[in-house]
Amino acid sequence: MTNYSFKSMTEQANAIQENLISPVKLLEEFFEKISTEKKSNQIFTEIYFNEALDEAKKSEVRQINNRRKSFFDGIVLNWKDLFDINKKKCEGGTQLLSGRISEIDAEVYINAKSCGLITIGKTHLSELAFSGLGVNPKTETPPNAVKKIVAPGGSSSGAAVATALNLSSAGIGSDTGGSVRIPAAWNNLVGFKPTHGKLSLDGVLKLCPSFDTVGPITKTVEDSFYLYKILKRENLDPIENDILKNKSFLIDTSFLTQNVCEEVNKSFQLSVKKIATSGAKIKEIDLDEVSESTELAKKLFPYEAYNSWKKIIEAHPNKMHTPVLSRFRGGISISHDDYLKAWNELKILRKSFLLKMDQYDAVISPTCPITPPSVQKLLENDDFFTKSNLLSLRNTRVANLLGLTSVTLPTEIDNCGLMLLSKPNDEINLLKAAHLIELYFKNN
């Protein structure tokens, strides 16, 4: 008998639609996987066994009576532990919020539930979502799904690992500087960051409100496409057909492809070669706005992060991992005037960048310049932790800074993602292009 926990979200939904499996049976498959996963407590902060089973039974009744709320009724999600679910813990990966209970449901959670999707539980993350490594000695560090001794990627670490290990259909994370795309890349998954403001942040613990986004972590681009529409409460129309040959891409030779490790470079060159064989147009260009924007990140992210959390942090700073605390405190010395000046400079860079992108579908680049480092080494050396963290975020945060939408795809080399960056509010076209690349990689 087919085990559907290994399938994509869309394949699972098809199986429910065709009565090949029931929502209860699908959930039980995930429960069974969780029970045999020795490190499930390092992945999930809490598992909603009873509530999830109740929802699955209701979904099964709708299935029997042909009254499904949507095509994805009965699909099982995990949620990063910074989304409010009423009367459930929401502790943001930090001892500072230990025991915090939500009093509302996040809007994106409400939208998912209205389509019949089932929540299996909450997942671990970096402290207050301010690290791209996913290593959290203050709560838990999920094991990398590909190689357990290396970092899982963050900050949506548990959301990615639970999805990659087939403990849920998909995960919902947040992305301020790469927190969906890094763990997706390091666990051979698809991670999608919409344009800032496209998905509601109501009921979400915020890190940097000007850059925070909500995004899905899935097994396929098609899954991310549909999950984005569900979270946005849009009609679930399928991805329109096209061919990769009709697409055109830019490669930044000034920053995004420079100083990457050997494995990442090999992965990227293989990916570019494959895309080129499809007949798609690829142009190499120096995009100076990329490196200039990352310099501004040194003021923008620490200022917003520290000012969002300083009262809670400074009340009990000893409860934080030292490198993460230091990164937050980097915002102390940044004045409001310096912050506003950086924002004004960033707005100019955004306009200049979009002019260069005008005739292209996306910029393609490695998702991360490094592969995941050893967890043990990160915990033994604070300087190595800080350096690795900044490297992990180096490429992904460009999308947040320049106001872009972005997605990462797995490549034929483990822990190495291919990232696409596209114009603001161009989510559907970006996902179409990514879907075509994904299909081409699969078939060639």
Convert the pLDDT of each residue in 279-290 to its tens digit. 999 999 999 999
Convert the pLDDT of each residue in 214-228 to its tens digit. 999 999 999 999 999
Cα distance between the two ends of the chain:
30
- Per-residue pLDDT, averaged over 256-270, amounts to 98
Q: What's the rounded Cα separation, in Å, for the pair 354 and 342?
A: 18
**What pLDDT score was predicted for residue 241?**
86
Whether residue 321 is predicted with pLDDT greater than 90 in this model: the reply is yes
Convert the pLDDT of each residue in 36-88 to its tens digit. 999 999 999 999 999 999 999 999 999 999 999 999 999 999 999 999 999 99
Cβ-defined contacts of 232-237 (< 8 Å, 24+): 232/111, 232/198, 232/199, 233/111, 233/114, 236/70, 236/71, 236/72
Convert the pLDDT of each residue in 222-262 to its tens digit. 999 999 999 999 999 999 889 999 999 999 999 999 999 99
**What pLDDT score was predicted for residue 260?**
98
Bin 265: left if φ > 0, else alpha if -120 < ψ < 50, else beta: alpha
Strand 405-410 to strand 281-285: parallel, antiparallel, or no bridges (unpaired)?
A: unpaired
Q: What's the rounded Cα separation, in Å, for the pair 133 and 151?
A: 6
- Short-list 212, 182, 181, CA closest to 196: 212
Strand order across the 213-218 sheet: 44-47, 118-123, 76-80, 170-175, 213-218, 190-193, 405-410, 417-422, 362-366, 248-252, 281-285
Dihedral pair phi/psi, residue 210, rounded to 5°:
-80, -10
Q: In the chain, what are the domain boundaries?
A: 4-232, 244-293+319-443
Convert the pLDDT of each residue in 101-134 to its tens digit. 999 999 999 999 999 999 999 999 999 999 999 9
- Short-list 222, 211, 214, CA closest to 107: 214
Q: What's the rounded Cα separation, in Å, for the pair 156 and 279?
A: 35
User: 371 with 432: CB under 8 angstroms?
Assistant: no
Inter-helix orientation angle 23-36/49-64, to 10°: 150
User: In angstroms, what is the C-alpha Rg of the chain?
Assistant: 20
Whether residue 1 is predicted with pLDDT greater than 90 in this model: the reply is no
User: 390 with 301: CB under 8 angstroms?
Assistant: no
Same fold, 4-232 and 244-293+319-443: yes
User: 189 with 416: CB under 8 angstroms?
Assistant: no
Inter-helix orientation angle 23-36/9-17, to 10°: 140
Stated length of the chain: 444
Convert the pLDDT of each residue in 138-181 to its tens digit. 999 999 999 999 999 999 999 999 999 999 999 999 999 999 99
Dihedral pair phi/psi, residue 341, rounded to 5°:
-65, -45
Domain 4-232 grouped into CATH 3.90.1300.10: yes
Sign of CA dihedral 131, 6, 48, 117: positive
Q: What's the rounded Cα separation, in Å, for the pair 36 and 168?
A: 14
Convert the pLDDT of each residue in 14-25 to its tens digit. 999 999 999 999
Structure tokens at 60: 């099964």
Q: What is the mean pLDDT of the chain?
A: 98
Asked whether the whole model's pTM tops 0.95, one would answer yes
Convert the pLDDT of each residue in 394-433 to its tens digit. 999 999 999 999 999 999 999 999 999 999 999 999 999 9
**What pLDDT score was predicted for residue 52?**
98
Which CATH superfamily does the domain covering 244-293+319-443 fall into?
A: Amidase signature (AS) domain (3.90.1300.10)
Convert the pLDDT of each residue in 358-371 to its tens digit. 999 999 999 999 99
